Chains A and B, each alone.
Chain A
Amino acid sequence: MILYILWLRQIKRYLRSKSRMIGSLGQPILFLVALGFGFGPIFEKAGGGNYIQFLAPGIIAMTILFTAIFAGIEVIWDKQFGFLKETLVAPVSRTKIMIGRTLGGATVATIQGVIVFIFTLFIGFRPTSILMSFFALVVMFLIALLFTALGTAIASRLEDMQGFQLIMNFLVMPIFFLSGALFPVDSLPSSFEIIIRIDPLSYGVDALRGVLSNAAHFGLGLDLIVLLSVVVVITIIGAWQFSKIEI
């Protein structure tokens, strides 16, 4: 019940802030259209196949990454604008509070991912099977959990939004650009591939490609194992950081 109410709070906040909802869809749609149609011909000439087919899972993952990080970072708002105090004096364990929030944020990020997924269908993306598209939901939710928990862990340590730009530029952007969301991993120099293999989002992107385009590079099994393990580790770290908040 407590998890549910904290989850519900995040969902209600999301549904009520239409501008945030629409604003955070602008970027992925721009990426899809500009990159999809801009690079498409070159990609196909180079023998990569249909670029939209390749790009769509990457952009869905990107949407989830950004929305989830934001949802986690919201802890700073709650610190500054006070609602966090209300939850911290309640007779509820901090771990529960953190998990409830994270589930809520992750659900929001997943919904955004689904909206972008639906948009990709309109510009020519064709998932290989409908059944597997439902499985994609699970993958999206895992990606969402991972990055909401990461955002929460970071936000628990920050006093205000000052460090936010730093996090965007030195953490979130690298996670996105080094995930193979935009380019294929197979033909890269091996030193660069190592970097990509360190980035947890790579496995999220790869898993989505696996279930939606039947084109996993690392293999779906490895993707899921890595994603699940990282989710567990980051959630534990997030809960621990959250429990140390003093306000």
Chain B
Amino acid sequence: MSENSTTIIEVKNLVRNFKKIEAVRNISFTVNKGESFAFLGPNGAGKTTTIRMLTTLLEPTSGFVSLNGFDVHKNPSDTRRSFGIVFQDPSLDTELTAYENMYIHAVLYGLEKNVYKKRIEELMTMVELWSRKDDLVKNFSGGMKRRLEIARGLLHHPKVLFLDEPTLGLDPQTRNLMWNYIKDLREKEGLTVFFTTHYMEEADKNADRIAIIDHGVIVAQGKSEELKTQTNTKTLEEAFLALTGTDIRESSGSVGVQMMKMWHGRK
């Protein structure tokens, strides 16, 4: 385990198969402390599956993952204390109030009362939901739910925040607002952010480094500028197409070609 002090996530030769589907095929990468790292790829690329393995929800078929210095497989409990997560799909209890959702989280993570009381107010104020704290979550809009999930994910002072397609279905205002909170928190708390998206601009704007994943394989990784230079292109999108284009021809998978066509055509 070659853990140096600036690495917070280390992934080595990670594989996950679902019966015949190879969802994640031997990927390796590291994320540094305080970094914002994006996993960019189309639907079905294996982004969520990777996150599930990084967050103890799914056993890898093979490979090694460490987070905040803990072996995720051997030490799930310490791993869980080290990260917060906003899932791709909603995960709030909509029959409870916003505050109750936060409170349950605080208790589940074993926070002290004097600590969480202050922290809940602070975070809910940040995401502009403090005035709505006693409303049932089922009466919230999609954007409000997302903001509450972000606040909840940060409640236990995680070192790493996972965001799985956090802005899916949100309007531009809410998106903007959300990334502003994240930016503030990174500056204030030195938070590491790992997010997935299939929006090019989002990765370009909010990530220090980007890994492009397709069909369970990381086809390239680096700073946005590096990816552009490497492929001699002007935009991240062009870089993406240049990178994944050659890969498809080599692998000659017909499903892959079709997916790429959809991917091209979708813009």
Interface residues of A, Cβ cutoff 8 Å to B: 1-2, 5, 9, 12-13, 16-17, 81-83, 85-92, 246-247
**A86/B91 in contact, CB under 8 A:** yes
Q: Is the CB of B108 within 8 A of A85?
A: no
CB <8 Å contact, B95 and A89? no
Q: Are B90 and A91 in contact (CB under 8 A)?
A: no
* Residue ranges of B at the interface with A (Cβ–Cβ < 8 Å): 55-58, 76-78, 80-81, 83, 85, 87, 89-96, 100, 103-105, 107-110, 136, 152
A1 to chain B, nearest CB (A): 6
For the complex, give the distance between the alpha carbons of A28 and B189 in Å.
56
With contact pairs A91-B80, A246-B58, A247-B57 given, residues A5 and B108 touching in the complex (Cβ less than 8 Å)? yes
A89 contacts B55, C-beta separation under 8 Å: yes
B91–A12 CB distance below 8 A: no
In the assembled complex, how far is the CB of residue B197 from the closest CB belonging to chain A, in whole angstroms?
A: 20
Return chain B residues, CB-CB under 8 Å to A92. Answer: 108
Verify B90–A12 contact, CB threshold 8 A: no
Q: Assess the A9–B81 pair: CB atoms within 8 A.
A: no
A216 to B170, CA, bound (A): 61
Residues in A neighbouring B87, C-beta threshold 8 A: 82, 85
Do the beta carbons of B89 and A82 come within 8 Å of each other?
Answer: yes
Contacts of B78 in A (CB 8 A): 91
Which of B89, B90, B108 has the most chain A CB within a 10 Å cutoff? B108
Shortest beta-carbon distance from B198 to chain A in Å: 21
Closest to A13 in B: B95
Given A13-B95, A91-B110, 16 additional A-B pairs, CB 8 A: A2-B107, A5-B103, A5-B107, A9-B93, A9-B100, A9-B104, A12-B95, A16-B136, A82-B89, A83-B92, A86-B92, A86-B105, A86-B152, A89-B83, A91-B108, A92-B108
Pair A1/B107 contact, Cβ less than 8 Å:
yes
Contact partners of B95 in chain A: CB under 8 A: 12-13, 16-17
Chain A residues in 8 Å Cβ range of B108:
2, 5, 86-87, 90-92
Assess A91 versus B89: contact at CB under 8 Å? Given A2-B108, A13-B95: no
Q: Is the CB of B90 within 8 A of A90?
A: no
Q: A32 vs B76: C-alpha distance in the bound complex, in angstroms?
A: 51
Closest to A4 in B: B107
| CA distance in complex: A92, B103 (Å) | 15
List of A residues within 8 angstroms of B94 by Cβ = 81
Other-chain contact of A83, B83, B91, B103 (Cβ < 8 Å): B91
Q: How far is the CA of A50 from the CA of B44 in the complex (A)?
A: 65
Is B107's CB under 8 angstroms from A89's CB? no
Asked if A90 and B80 sit within 8 Å, CB to CB, the answer is yes
* Interchain CB contact under 8 A, A82 and B57: no
- Cα A2 to Cα B96 in complex, Å, equals 17
| Set B85, B90, B92, B104: member contacting A89, Cβ < 8 A | B85
CA distance in complex: A247, B59 (Å): 11
In the complex, what distance in Å separates the CA atom of A91 from the CA atom of B81?
6
Q: When A81-B90, A85-B87, A89-B85 are in contact, do A9 and B57 touch as well, CB less than 8 Å?
A: no
Nearest opposing residue in chain A for B83, CB measure: A89
Residues A89 and B100 in contact, CB atoms below 8 Å apart: no
Q: Is the CB of B92 within 8 A of A88?
A: no
Known A9-B96, A12-B100, A13-B95: A88·B107 in contact at CB below 8 Å: no
Set A81, A82, A88, A91: member contacting B109, Cβ < 8 A: A91
Contacts of A88 in B (CB 8 A): 57
A13–B137 Cα distance when bound, in Å, is 12
A-B CB proximity, top 7 nearest = A82-B91, A90-B108, A91-B80, A5-B107, A83-B93, A86-B91, A85-B91
